[in-house]
Amino acid sequence: MINERRFFGTNGIRFKPGIDFGLDFVIEMSEAIGTYFSKGSILVGYDGRNTSPMIAKAVMAGLMSVGLQVGEAGLSPTPALQYAIGKLGYNGGLMITASHNPPEYNGIKVMGQDGVEISREDEVKIERIFLEKSMRRADWRTVGNYQQEIKVLSTYIQGILSQVDIDLISSKRFRVVLDLGNGVQSLAAPYILENLNCEVITINSDINGEFSGRGAEPTLETLIGLSKAVKAHNADLGVGYDGDGDRSIFCDENGVIYTGDRSGAVIMDYVLSKKPKSLVVTTVSTSQIIDYVAKRYESKVLRTRVGSVDVSRKMVETKALFGIEENGGCFYAPHIPVRDGAMSTALMLECMAKRNQKLSELIKELPQFYQKKAKFACPNELKTRVMSLIERYSEGEVEKIDGIKLWIDKSSWILLRPSGTEPLIRVFAESDDEKKLEEIISRFSFIVEDSIKKCGGG
Ligand code: MG
């Protein structure tokens, strides 16, 4: 059952502090989260946003007020906090972050004992406690205590290093440019690479709440500076992270930046070559390049709704080896089944070292697929009707994991999906034939616009 009022979105609770909600909301929501956990100690970390320390203090107060113990991790990459929860024996964790969103946003992510975000069902449980105001309050005897947790970053850095062949990577003496995007991966990725004997050049490495360099989101457009730096320094590789350090976008030695599914497919190919016949989890919107690579190693691909929580939870449930998202998220289960920008970087370096190839050469070995996105304004209240009208145009094989995915032929598909957060219908198509892709997009753009009009929108 879904609550009438939702607070959790695709990736935790996101809001504009002081505009959407004040600290009263943060404290009450933290009391609800604490009541859900019921007892134990919770690790709390935050990203470099201006509002993060303030929200973290309110969150910790809320948790202690319902009797939970709190460990304050301070500034941490999200995947570092997630890894440390399990490794340091906490019962759960809260990360204050809005990932790649603009500086005025912040948010709360809730992790279970294993460091993985809690399930969609558990999010609903927390919302119910919050809406019913059934938080349990502690008195002076049972109120929680507080301690600083100083081992988060060192635990995380050691954890990643233990997953890769340090000697092999070190022998290559790679030169790597890291675009840290003024985010918290500044605290870990440069040190991990130094331990791998890389020559590290950093840009946008000062952590600040304005994300003053190129913004918090690493995209083909925002990483032009990274591309230039890779060429200027004659580097072997470039990597750009998002604001909380769980996603990484890669740049080859020629300054070419790749989408997350192409670079992720390179890492996935390497991981599966070491352990064929494994399970891979990805979302319904990720490229068929994933299926192509999986087939090479007799591995199976499972697809979920769009959202890293869905991928992580499916990985836990099925004991999958690897997870991937097109936005630059790679999940490596032997470390922890959550997306992790620094783990992905270490695996990419090991792959380049082991195969003795540059990233451009590794990418060339993959088939070329073309992708195109479009979006159409559609009022929230019309979305359901518009989607059912669109469905009438469905032909061939239809997948309904998230929105409607239609297979036009064996290597062309289109995904039509109502946005979970904005009044939009999103369209995403892929084909091995560029001309065909254009035809598909223009045909379905007409269908979507026409359906919105027929439902009284547009
Ligand atoms: Mg992120």
Tens digit of pLDDT at every position of the chain (458 positions): 567 788 998 889 999 999 999 999 999 999 999 999 999 999 999 999 999 999 999 999 999 999 999 999 999 999 999 999 999 999 999 999 999 999 999 999 999 999 999 999 999 999 999 999 999 999 999 999 999 999 999 999 999 999 999 999 999 999 999 999 999 999 999 999 999 999 999 999 999 999 999 999 999 999 999 999 999 999 999 999 999 999 999 999 999 999 999 999 999 999 999 999 999 999 999 999 999 999 999 999 999 999 999 999 999 999 999 999 999 999 999 999 999 999 999 999 999 999 999 999 999 999 999 999 999 999 989 999 999 988 887 777 788 999 999 999 999 999 999 987 778 999 999 999 999 999 999 999 999 999 999 998 76
Residue among 30, 99, 263, 344 flagged as catalytic: 99
Taking phi first (over 0 means left), then psi (-120 to 50 degrees means alpha), and beta for anything else, what does residue 32 get? alpha
CA of 182 to the centre of ligand 1 (A): 13
Prediction pTM value: 0.95
CA of 344 to the centre of ligand 1 (A): 13
CA of 141 to the centre of ligand 1 (A): 38
CA of 249 to the centre of ligand 1 (A): 12
CA of 397 to the centre of ligand 1 (A): 33
CA distance 213 to 31: 36
Overall residue count recorded for the chain in this entry: 458
Do 108 and 51 meet the contact criterion of CB atoms below 8 Å apart?
no
- What the block records as the tokens of 198 is 């890389």
CA of 391 to the centre of ligand 1 (A): 32
Do 414 and 422 meet the contact criterion of CB atoms below 8 Å apart?
no
Strand 146-148 to strand 69-75: parallel, antiparallel, or no bridges (unpaired)? Answer: parallel
CA of 257 to the centre of ligand 1 (A): 19
Do 177 and 229 meet the contact criterion of CB atoms below 8 Å apart?
yes
CA distance 303 to 353: 30
CA of 14 to the centre of ligand 1 (A): 12
What does DSSP assign to residue 312?
H
Taking phi first (over 0 means left), then psi (-120 to 50 degrees means alpha), and beta for anything else, what does residue 97 get? beta
Sheet holding 370-377, edge to edge: 370-377, 424-431, 412-418, 404-409, 397-399
Burial zone of 250 (CB within 10 Å; 0-12 exposed, 13-18 middle, 19+ buried): buried
CA of 273 to the centre of ligand 1 (A): 28
Exposure b/e, 70-91, CB count within 10 A at least 16 = b: bbbbbbbbbbbbbbbbbbbebb
β-pair partners for 158: none
CA of 239 to the centre of ligand 1 (A): 14
Strand 404-409 to strand 412-418: parallel, antiparallel, or no bridges (unpaired)? Answer: antiparallel
Residue 285 falls in the annotated catalytic set: no
CA of 99 to the centre of ligand 1 (A): 4
